[in-house]
Each structure stands twice: as C-alpha cells, then as structure tokens.
Amino acid sequence: MRITTTVLKSFAVAAVGALALTACGSSDTPAASSDPNALKLINAGKLTVCSDIPYEPFEFVKDGKNVGFDMDIAAEIAKDMKVELNVIDSSFDSIESGLFKTQCDLAISSISITEARKGNMDFSTPYMDDDLTLVAKDGSGVTDLESAKGKKVGVQQATTGEKFAKENGLDPIGYEDAGLQVASLKAGSTVASLGNQSVLGYAIKNDPTLKRVADFKTGEQLGIALPKGSTVMLENVNATLKRLTDDGSLAKFTETWFGSTN
C-alpha cells in the first residue's frame, strides 16, 4: 500500500493529539493512587479477614453471626479504619502457610507467633499469652505426657499443639479444627487432648468428666498475621491493639470470653 502525503499528514496530527492526551492524563492522575502511605485493601471499603471457624471462644458462629474474642478485636480494627468487616472462614493450614494473603488483608485466628511462621507472614504486637495444656477424661489413666503415650490424644492439625505432641513422643490424632478436636474428646473417640489453655480450658469448664492434668510453659503469644511487607496495615492494626489495651477494652473482652479460665 502506498502512503500518500495526505495520509502522512493525518498520521502526524493523530500522533500529536495522542501525545497531548497522554500528557494531560499523566498530570491529572491523583498521586494518592501510588502513595506508599495509603492503606490498601483487597476489597474497597472492607477489611477482609481470614479466620478458622469454629475455634471457641476466639471465633465461632452464634445466631448466624461470627462472634468471639478474635471477632471483637477484628471489629475494632475495622471500626478504626472506618470500613466494613468481612470475615472469610479459612482453614488453619492456609493461614499458617501464608496463602491467606490471596483473599484476605489479614488473618486472626488464635495464631501463635513462631519463627517458622514469620517466614511466611508478618505479625502484630502480641495480644495474648497462651501456653499449652493437656486435658483428659476421668478414668483414662492420663495424668501427664508420659502416661499419654500410646493413647488416643487429639490435636488440631498444623498447630503448635500438634508439633509439641510429636516432639514429646506422642502419636496424636489430628483434627481439622478445634470443634472436631473437642467433640472427639467428649464423645470418647480420644481420651485426651493437647492444645492451647485458652481454647481447651474454655471447652471443658462446664464438663465435670474432663480436667486439665498438665500445663506446659511454652511462652506462646498470639498475634494477628499479615502478608509480608504490609507496613501500613501493620501500623493500623498495632494502633488499634494499643488503644484496646490502654482503654481497658482488651481486658473486658478477655473477661467476657474466658472469665477465670484464662
């Protein structure tokens, strides 16, 4: 195809026009869109939170709503950010691996802060101390770790409780969530359970056939998990945790959900 002088002139005019539009678009683009200090959310106007539900009393469903100690904290974080709270039920495996970052801004689900997990995620300042405990049925013969060997001891998969059990010579039965772990103990499928004091203490407090037989000082602390490098989100989360500590709200939440068991 031949290119005539008229066509060439038309191309030149079009090119100049395109350059002008590009220049205008560049100068009019809001700087806020690339502001490193801006809070970025996966879903605009919503704080999307991953949590492994149920895990009483941290997170569970009551009357069709997500409630619990962690849920109260998550609601306060969303309130301080002036956005809506959106909770996604996620497996603890996906939370621990850091895969929650593909669908959530953060994860709160009684997550113990460990060096291994720090490789997959960032953590907030700790919001609770939570060591491990061994609970057992009366008459089971389980009174400590040694007597639990060779017996059916339930744990939650991918937790520090499971790791501790294996490191101390137990061959635990793993359950996907704490609800199933506790249900197996109450039904007699297992004779003991190993896990965090907060959850197991709460689960057995009204059951006279179950008791705590041994506590283990592991120095565990719970934190809120965020995708690596979420600096601005982390600052906001820590600011809310500080406020809740300073104004007494965190102590109030603790009393509401754990009472004297924690």
The number of folded domains in the chain is: 2
Kindly report the CATH number assigned to the domain that includes residue 84: 3.40.190.10
Token pair of 25, please? 């678009």
Q: Report the alpha-carbon distance of residue 206 to residue 92 in Å, rounded.
A: 27
Residue 117 and residue 143 in one domain:
no
How much is the pLDDT for 22? 40
Asked if the structure places residue 180 within a domain, the reply is yes
Residue 136 and residue 202 in one domain:
yes
Q: Report the alpha-carbon distance of residue 19 to residue 202 in Å, rounded.
A: 67
Asked if the structure places residue 13 within a domain, the reply is no
Asked if the structure places residue 174 within a domain, the reply is yes
Domain that holds residue 238: 46-129+221-261
Query: Which pLDDT tens digit goes with each residue over 121-174?
Result: 999 999 999 999 999 999 999 999 999 999 999 999 988 899 999 999 999 999
Q: Report the alpha-carbon distance of residue 177 to residue 52 in Å, rounded.
A: 7
Q: How does the average pLDDT of the chain come out, rounded?
A: 87
Residue 222: strand pairing partners: 112, 128
Residue 112 and residue 235 in one domain:
yes
Residue 115 and residue 143 in one domain:
no
Whether the CB-CB separation of 96 and 120 falls below 8 Å is answered with: yes
Token pair of 105, please? 């801004």
Coil, strand, or helix at residue 200? helix
Asked if the structure places residue 62 within a domain, the reply is yes
Token pair of 205, please? 């407090």
Whether the CB-CB separation of 40 and 76 falls below 8 Å is answered with: no
Low-confidence ranges of the chain (pLDDT < 50): 1-33, 261-262
Give the residue from 216, 231, 247 where a domain finishes.
216
Residue 118 and residue 139 in one domain:
no
